Amino acid sequence: MITVCGELVVDLIPVAAGAGAGAPQYTAFPGGNALNVAVAAARLGNEVHLMSRVGPGPFGSLLRGHAARNGVATDAMVDAPEPVSLAVVELRDDGSAGYSFHTVGAADWQWTPEELARDWPAGTRVVHIGSISSWTPPGSDAIAGLVRRVRAEGSALVSFDPNVRASLMGDEDAVRARIEELRRTADLVKVSAEDLEWLEPGADLDEAALRWADDGPALVVVTDGGAPLRAARPGRPLLRRQPPAVAVVDTVGAGDTLAAALFSGLVRTGTLTHDALAGLPDDELAPLLDDAALAAALACTRAGADPPTAAELAAARR
């Protein structure tokens, strides 16, 4: 069973308008790192529980309904009085996305240790945390405590994706310190080249991947758009894999899909401990990375965060 803990965000994505159109029009898509990862993992055939705080109103109903329709268990979703987070998306010419966030006082950042302990799904074997909720106080302290407890117990693999959003950083030094703590504590870390540039300006991607792997995780995966992704493990040579080329509509949710597909593969192969992941032979890890990159590429061919199903991934693989 996979448990995903984090934020829900409604992505307002611009709709193509004809010549002479007035004010821009937007379509509301369910999104946010946690929801995207949970839906992607569920579409790939996994049992998935989503731990999130859900604000009221139509956007809250949209988010909860989207999770349920895609087979994500909603028993760990907490009804919260605070509002839903919004992201206004700007699509660049190459399909990559920029975000303007509206998140002050939102439900996602208010986790308490009591809520996390009460709603923790028993039997979890992989837990994913990351993005804004993992480094935004006050709830980030509770999430960090959960990660420390799970890692100490050894009951589940911990996956972490910092998913940096520079416009939301308050105390940047505190955010960097929290991300460093979480990346050292997690078993699996996925980080984009763009995130690494913010965290360690000018860092060499190969060197950073290997160094991060030596700091505690069993596996560090660095993504770089359409360039080869890097996979680093402690004491092992760097592994590179080339993602497939596709016609990109937008990249919303691509990284979340890659993470979900990767630990979906770990579940499928029974690679569910820190030592098993660190010791996985390259010829067994490579196809899992290729599947994850293919799933992310398929998500890029659709508008919004719309990851593939297991059947679609299998067809594309063939």
Q: Residue 291 belongs to a domain with what CATH number?
A: 3.40.1190.20
Query: How many domains is the chain partitioned into structurally?
Result: 1
Q: Is residue 227 part of a domain?
A: yes
Does residue 244 belong to any structural domain of this protein?
yes
Q: Is residue 120 in some structural domain?
A: yes
Mean pLDDT (whole number) for 37-43: 97
CA distance 154 to 156: 6
Mean pLDDT value across residues 300-310? 89
The pLDDT, as a whole number, for residue 104 is 86
Would 21 be classed as within a structural domain?
Answer: no
Rounded CA gap, 302 and 299, in Å? 6
The pLDDT, as a whole number, for residue 101 is: 86
In a domain? residue 255: yes
How many C-beta atoms lie closer than 10 Å to residue 126's C-beta?
A: 24
Mean pLDDT of the chain: 92
pLDDT at 106 over 60: yes
For residue 107, the 8-state DSSP code is G
Residues of the chain with pLDDT > 90, as a percent, come to: 76
In a domain, 65, yes or no: yes
The answer to whether position 216 is within a domain reads yes
Res. 20 pLDDT band, cuts 50 70 90 = low
Structural domain of 54 = 2-15+26-317
> What's the sign of the alpha-carbon dihedral 308, 253, 306, 18?
negative
C-alpha dihedral, 303 to 304 to 307 to 309, nearest 10° = -60
Start-to-end C-alpha separation, the chain? 27
